[in-house]
With several copies, the nearest count.
Chain A
Amino acid sequence: MMGKPEGLKLIDENGYRLDGRKKYELRKIKMEVGVLKSADGSAYVEWGKNKIMAAVYGPREIHPKHLQKPDRAILRVRYNMAPFSVEERKKPGPDRRSVEISKVIRGALEPAVILELFPRTSIDIFIEVLQADAGTRVAGITAASLALADAGIPMKDLVAACAAGKIDGEIALDLNKEEDNYGEADVPVAIMPIKNDITLLQMDGYLTKEEFLEAVKLAIKGAKAVYQKQREALREKYLKIVEEVGE
């Protein structure tokens, strides 16, 4: 949230946003499952200008053995930005922001994964942001959840994610970079849609209670739309396999 340039309007008189969307409209989202050979599961998500790749390795042996849990797998998540993914080149390696995001993404995915099935192993999730334009963490969760499914990891539900925020005083869905920079708040949310369980919830900004809850509800709606796209992407992958096996 930075100081907004004088006179910049994020929503015009007709209710359109700078990129032409309406207040409750998602950016264009493309998903593809199974994009990497080396990984046990993988997915690629384009979400507006965000380009995110996720890979899953595991369940596999844990190297420093004292990290093993006798009764379940451990989930590890690494969210990373490519140096060229942002306007100003980012120095390689984790910064404090990506350490925090990796941690909350792990907390968002953990409730969905049935870790008890694979004691003493790790399931490692790697999220690479190849291009960033606000909302990378929800896009990353969405991609990681697909990659987990692609890897055949048993899950209670897919995790779908989306953000809402406040721009020009109004609650709006799925902020892009400019909106995030000059808006008043951002509320990323992840859910397991079957039971409406919220597994990620953050807020960065300044909101009344009412605005906050409105944003959460809107983000949940967005996440449900994302969920449908996730299911389609998995179905496509499934059909492709069936086709290949049929050949």
Chain B
Amino acid sequence: MEIMASIMKDHILQLLKEDKRIDGRGLEDFRPLTVETNVIEKAEGSALVKLGDTQILVGIKVDLGEPFPDLPNMGVITTNVEFVPLASPTFEPGPPDERAIELARVVDRGIRESQAIDLEKLVIVPGKLVRVVFIDVHVLDHDGNLLDASGIGAIAALLSTRIPKVEYNEETEEVVMLEEYEKLPVTRIPIPVTLAKIGGNLVVDPNFEEEQVMDGKITITTDENGYISAVQKSEGGSFKLEEIAYVTDLAYKKASEIREKIPGL
């Protein structure tokens, strides 16, 4: 195993010297991407993302609940990622491990900090009753770069979400779900773009093999207004300041291309 890993690493590094990648892509190329929405009828929103052989299914459920005490005028979003063992020999059954937790939190930050969802519009009764949006990322096949696939799936699923309008009767204090549906108030489209660093080279959208041998990686989430809403350097390795600048520029460019592929945009 360790020996195979070292041979694979040598091979990948050898190719990179000539700006080639193990699967034939250029250093700045994403794998083929498809995004299909409304794949789970029982969920208020959903998206199936295929990024090369990586497959991610995101489901959105919307409930009613209480706001956080310190944020009485905001709805609640919560992001959970399940690395189910169906998706990879490297996943184990059990509660989310540090990889799944980090991934969920970076996806969540990208959405939250860009204010991609107008949380104020999710309030029904201030301080008492708001919509609670669950973003559940279910990894189906892990062939690398789960973070970008998850972030793309999350925003695509949110865009596809339809929720019943509600009417609140102040006298009876009752909430009535109407037959009429409305969209979630999604106002921005943050897209994460990840580059791995392998022996001094930077490659975008690393696949599983590349992730096995990389030193570290960095993810930049940008929106269509030119803002960054999350940055995360992950795993080991190190980056130079100029590399950060390069990565940021590339993130904008790739995010624009990806945004084209999201249904309904």
Contact = CB atoms under 8 A, between A and B. Distances in A.
Interface of A: 1-3, 36-39, 42, 49, 51, 53-55, 57, 60, 70-71, 78, 80, 82-87, 89, 92-94, 96-97, 99-100, 102-104, 106-107, 110-111, 124, 126-128, 130-133, 185, 187, 192, 196-209, 212-213, 216-217, 220
Interface of B: 2, 40-43, 46, 53, 55, 57, 59-61, 63, 70-71, 80, 82, 84-89, 93, 95-96, 98-99, 101-102, 104-105, 109, 113-115, 134, 136, 138, 140-143, 208, 215-216, 218, 226-241, 244-245, 248-249, 252
B193 to A, nearest CB: 13
Contacts of A93: 95
Nearest to A49: B41
A99 B101 contact: yes
B138 A89 contact: no
A209 B238 contact: no
B134 A83 contact: yes
Contacts of A128: 84, 86, 138, 140
A53 B140 contact: yes
Given A107-B235, A203-B230, A209-B252, A198 B241 contact: yes
8 contacts: A38-B87, A57-B89, A60-B89, A96-B104, A97-B105, A100-B101, A111-B215, A130-B138
A209 B82 CA distance: 32
A198 B233 contact: yes
Contacts of B53: 37-38
Nearest to A89: B61
Q: Which 6 A-B pairs have the closest CB atoms?
A: A84-B59, A203-B231, A197-B238, A126-B86, A110-B236, A89-B61
Contacts of B237: 107, 111, 199
Contact of A206 (B228, B232, B233): B228
Contact of B113 (A36, A130, A198, A204): A204
B109 A204 contact: yes
A54 B84 CA distance: 11
Contacts of B41: 49, 131
A85 B95 CA distance: 18
A196 B241 contact: yes
A36 B141 contact: yes
Nearest to B248: A209
Given A83-B134, A130-B138, A100 B105 contact: yes
Given A86-B42, A220-B241, A37 B141 contact: yes
Contact of B238 (A38, A55, A111, A187): A111
B156 to A, nearest CB: 14
